[in-house]
Amino acid sequence: MLKWVHSLTARFMLFAGIILLVLIGGIYAYEWDKIRADSEKQLFEKGSTMAVSLSKALQSITENDIRDGIILKDGTRLSGEDLKRNLFNDNLQLIPESELEAQKRAKDPAYAALQQKLFDGRMIPLSKYELKYTSAYDAYTDDHWQRVIDGFLTDENVIFVVPIAYSANPDFNGYVGTHNMKSSPLGEESKDAWGTTGINSQKYRANRVFNDIVGYTAASYKDTSQTLLQKYSQVVEQQVFERWDLAYPLVIDGKNWGAVRVDLSKQASDAFITQQRLKVALEFGGLYIGVLLLLFLLSGAIVSRKLRFVLQAATNLNSQEADLTYRIPVRGKDEMAMLAIEINKFIAHLQEMMGTIGRMSNQVGAISGHLTDSAVRSTATASGISHTIESLSHGAGSQAISAEDSAKAMGEMAVGIQRIAEASAEVSEATQHLAREAEDGDRASEQAMRQMVTLSESASGVGLAIDKLEQGMDAVGGMAQVISGIASQTGLLALNAAIEAARAGEQGKGFAVVASEVRKLADQSEASARQINERITDIQASMAAAVHAMSLGEAEIKDGVLQVGQLREVLSRMLNSVNDVSTQMEEISAAAEQMSAGTEEVTAGIEEIARIAGSASDQAQQVAEASLLQLQDSEATSTRSQELMEAAGQLKATADKFKV
């Protein structure tokens, strides 16, 4: 397994996998955004189609009724002109019971605190925003439009579908005369938190004016060339959902009546987007694994199989008995085939050179035979020379003894001098290095001692500063407690004021608003006081941790002082070692004096050798005559040696063709 990890196939698969992963990752990143864009485009087209279709359907129904006249459920007959007049009558009448319900809900403190932001930024109580009205066309829209509207609630993404009326009066712009049954239930299904049912229930969302920024903009929209898209967020059961509101103008008999609103939820669309992204990820994952598997199989079939022949050839050449007749099979015309051709050429060239070396070896063997014959004749001549040299051996004996004594003395002196030189150099260098290190160590220990003292003083200063800061935090905590108490008292006073304002009725409404604002301010003050206390607690915990860290740091400083003291002791011992080295240098000097005396003895022995060498000069003439005969044989040997050198040169030239 480890061998495969280091193979070319494994490295190829690693790099191919990384490149493929980056490539597929880039494509997936592109598809990631494209899936969302396509899904949102589909959602917009769906909502736009519904808005346009509903607008056209209501327009067609209403224009037919204006042309033919209608009879309402209660038996009232309206002509086309009466119907048209009613549809474009934007005067609204407040339902008295709705106002009574708003007053009842306002007694609920939680509900009374709720407000609604209008199109122009004004904030009004939610009870006023939820007041119910009637218009001149409610009966017609409930009878003829509601069934059509309910038919558009078949898609799970649709929250509500509603026609919204335009009015030049900003307070009435965005009135919803009729609604789908899902958003305006009747009977027990319409009962709200205060027990109210029917049109005055909070769950009944028709007969209201939706003049917030979304509703106001939708009612005022008049561009029939495209659908208006507004995105907003809605909080439902403490969860935030993104809504898409699509509006399309509703034109009746050539005059703008208002618009049609289709509200869509992006929750199902986002789930679909997540599902599509997961599907694409699985597809890309399968593609990644499939391509890697295909690359692995192809690399094994195309590359690994051919590499085995190359490895077999290399193993053959690296063995003790290399078969130079072996050739790698050549298949195809790719790079591996070209590599096999070049290796085969190398093997053929190597085979030719080995043949040349074999022939040169045969020639060297023949020349060596001739040299052997010459050596025999040289041996006979050397026998005569030996007699002459024997007479020289007696004098050479004395010379050898003296030379031997001189050699011994000179050898001992050379060894001693060498040892002295090496030891002196090493001791001198070590002494100088040791002295420098001792000086540096002494300066470093002094610097470390000063830094330890400075660090200890800084730690003491930081401890005092932390103590002062903790005292200040205690004082701030006391202030926060006082603020919290004041906020609590203010809240009680605001509650009492609200109760008194409620008892006062209409005359106490203004004071009730002030009391409500004071109560909010008290709640905010109390919350801020709690936050201050929490921050003080966190800071005090941090200061405690800092004090603990300072205590640990002080212990570390003490350990540092002890270590510096130990360092100074080490430096003292180093200086003592330097003194010992100086003593050893004196002993080395004494040994050098002894070697000087030995040198004088060697001089005397050499003089004796010179005297004996004079007597040996006479006998050297006889040796020269005998050497003349030996010279003739040596010339013949020299010729054979020259031929041997030429053969060796050819062998060297052949060997130089290889790179070692």
Assess whether 250 and 384 both reside in one domain: no
Residue with tokens 């558009």: 152
pLDDT for position 660? 45
Question: In which band, very low, low, confident or very high, does the pLDDT at 404 lie, cut at 50, 70 and 90?
Answer: low
User: Which range is least confidently modeled, 263-277, 308-322, 419-433, 588-602?
Assistant: 588-602
User: Is 426 a member of any domain?
Assistant: yes
Query: Once rounded to an integer, what is the mean pLDDT over residues 445-472?
Result: 68
Distance CA 124, CA 92 (A): 19
CATH number reported for the structural domain that contains residue 128 in this entry = 3.30.450.20
User: What digits encode the pLDDT tens for the residues 18-77?
Assistant: 898 898 888 888 888 888 888 888 888 989 999 999 999 999 999 999 999 999 888 889
pLDDT for position 237? 45
pLDDT for position 119? 94
Assess whether 512 and 623 both reside in one domain: yes
- Tell whether the model's pLDDT for residue 116 goes beyond 60: yes
Which amino acid, 221? Y
Of the residues 259, 274, 289, the one at which a domain ends: 274
- Tell whether the model's pLDDT for residue 388 goes beyond 60: no
3-state secondary structure of 125: strand
Distance CA 201, CA 196 (A): 5
Domain total of the chain: 2
- Tell whether the model's pLDDT for residue 651 goes beyond 70: no
Question: In which band, very low, low, confident or very high, does the pLDDT at 225 lie, cut at 50, 70 and 90?
Answer: very high
Residues 6 or more apart from 304 whose CB is under 8 A from it? 7, 8, 9
Domain around 526: 338-656
Query: Once rounded to an integer, what is the mean pLDDT over residues 534-563?
Result: 70
User: Is 5 a member of any domain?
Assistant: no
Counting Cβ atoms within 10 Å, is residue 213 exposed (0-12), middle (13-18) or buried (19+)?
middle
Answering whether pTM is above 0.85, one says no
Q: At what angle do helices 335-504 and 305-318 cross, to 10 degrees?
A: 130
Assess whether 266 and 411 both reside in one domain: no
Assess whether 116 and 242 both reside in one domain: yes
Assess whether 37 and 122 both reside in one domain: yes
CATH number reported for the structural domain that contains residue 561 in this entry = 1.10.287.950
Assess whether 244 and 345 both reside in one domain: no
Assess whether 243 and 366 both reside in one domain: no
Assess whether 259 and 362 both reside in one domain: no
Of the residues 229, 247, 274, the one at which a domain ends: 274
- Tell whether the model's pLDDT for residue 162 goes beyond 90: yes
Assess whether 375 and 243 both reside in one domain: no
pLDDT for position 126? 92
User: Is 310 a member of any domain?
Assistant: no
Query: Once rounded to an integer, what is the mean pLDDT over residues 368-396?
Result: 59
User: Is 295 a member of any domain?
Assistant: no
Of the residues 241, 274, 307, the one at which a domain ends: 274
Distance CA 301, CA 294 (A): 10
User: Is 12 a member of any domain?
Assistant: no
User: Is 17 a member of any domain?
Assistant: no
User: Is 42 a member of any domain?
Assistant: yes
Residues 6 or more apart from 249 whose CB is under 8 A from it? 55, 221, 222, 223, 224, 256, 258, 259
